[in-house]
Amino acid sequence: MGQIDVQRPHQDVAVLTLNHPEKLNALSFELVEELREALDEIGADNSCRVLVLTGAGRGFCSGLDLTAVGPSPVAEGTTGPRSGMRSQERIADLPARLRRLRQPVIAAVNGPAFGGGFALALACDLRVASRTARFCSQFVKVGVGGCDIGISYTLPRLIGAARAFDLMLTARVVEADEALTLGLVSEVLADEMVVDRAVDLARLLCSYSPFGVEMTKQVMWANLDAPSLEVALHMENRTQILAGTSGDLMEAATAFAEKRAPVWGSGRPTGP
């Protein structure tokens, strides 16, 4: 793929790099389509347990490629609002695609994450940032509403509604240290360390039960929208009972007693 690069530094970890550094990995129609395809392929790859998302060069993603504004090729044959909606939906669906992945996604934000790039980072499950990382919603600066590509949903869930309003209405730039204070990212590292740190985190997640990790992502995001504690508890209880039938709990107990690392998938199921 021309503007997307996927590497496997470990068998169970994929690193997906937005690879158009000449434009700070801006979201062109080509890049968006290649990214959608790559995410579909990773989602169908059961050997991949964690995905790291980053950008080539000195930026994560600068947002929409403003030199390519206009109808997407997928809107061919349509006009007016129909054409606009076809194009909008192709890019706006990216955060949902990241959420639908069974694999946890770790954003290694290695530079500016503006507009759509900010939206991609927010849709990931974990975020680590370089010292040169900067975040900005920027949408109101380019003549559209400040709520786009899922940001009005993801941002307030990470930092609260008041702070989200601030960032969306003012479109101010948030430097890496403030992003850490706000809770946008969990760590700030030297530029040359950010991808390696994300891969290290990915390897840590891969040391845990595959089903347990997948369900942690799925249940966490589901319960952020749960209407009550009771509903959240039902989701958790369902997952724990299913996990118990995998044999991983018994294997964890045996490995603890034998003072060794668990071998996931090797334990005897406790259910039927």
Average pLDDT over the chain reads: 93
Rounded to whole angstroms, the Cα distance separating 129 from 147 reads 23
Residue 255 — pLDDT band, cuts 50, 70, 90? very high
| pLDDT for position 272 | 43
84 vs 61, more confident = 61
Least confident of 63-77, 84-98, 105-119: 63-77
Instruction: Encode burial over 132-157: b for 16+ CB neighbours within 10 A, e otherwise.
Output: bbbbbbbbeeeeeebebbbbbbbbbe
Residue 269 — pLDDT band, cuts 50, 70, 90? low
**3-class DSSP state for residue 216?**
helix
Rounded to whole angstroms, the Cα distance separating 191 from 260 reads 35
Plot region of 61 (φ>0 → left; ψ -120 to 50 → alpha; else → beta)? beta
DSSP 26: -
Q: Closest Cα partner for 92 from 147, 137, 49? A: 147
Amino acid at 141: K
pLDDT in tens, 27-44: 999 999 999 999 999 999
Residue 74 — pLDDT band, cuts 50, 70, 90? confident
| pLDDT for position 70 | 61
CB 186 within 8 A of CB 97: no
Q: Which two tokens stand for residue 112?
A: 């500016």
| pLDDT for position 268 | 58
Rounded to whole angstroms, the Cα distance separating 144 from 164 reads 17
Residue 270 — pLDDT band, cuts 50, 70, 90? low
Partners of 61 in the beta sheet? 113
pTM score of the predicted model: 0.92
Domains of the chain: 4-206 (3.90.226.10), 210-258 (1.10.12)
Strand order in the sheet with 174-175: 112-114, 134-136, 174-175
pLDDT in tens, 178-205: 999 999 999 999 999 999 999 999 999 9
> Which sign, positive or negative, has the C-alpha torsion 35, 159, 216, 14?
positive
Q: Is the pLDDT of residue 266 over 90?
A: no
